[in-house]
Amino acid sequence: MQKYLCEPCGYVYDPEIGDPDGGIAPGTPFEDIPDDWVCPICGMGKEVFIVEE
């Protein structure tokens, strides 16, 4: 599964880890995260994330 980078702050969403504090279970692909989820570091929405190369 691909990791996604929050461009403004540098947080990396790793699907293998998920975001347990944000209610996203480990193993959840980025595409399956609810649209109202926000970066746990800076609070920006999914639209600012890019695929990590």
pTM for the whole thing? 0.93
> Which range marks the domain in which residue 11 is found?
2-49
- Asked if 45 contacts 34 with a C-beta cutoff of 8 angstroms, the reply is no
Supply the pLDDT for residue 53: 84
Supply the pLDDT for residue 34: 97
CATH number of the domain bearing residue 30: 2.20.28.10
Residue 51, beta-bridge partner list? 4
Q: How many CB atoms lie within 10 A of CB 17?
A: 14
Residues belonging to the binding site are: 6, 9, 39, 42
Residues near 48 by beta carbon (within 8 Å), at least 6 away in sequence:
6, 7, 8, 39
Q: How many domains does the chain have?
A: 1
What are the tens digits of pLDDT across the range 1-48? Answer: 899 999 999 999 999 999 999 999 999 999 999 999 999 999 999 999
Residue 24, beta-bridge partner list? 19
Residues belonging to the binding site for Fe cation are: 6, 9, 39, 42
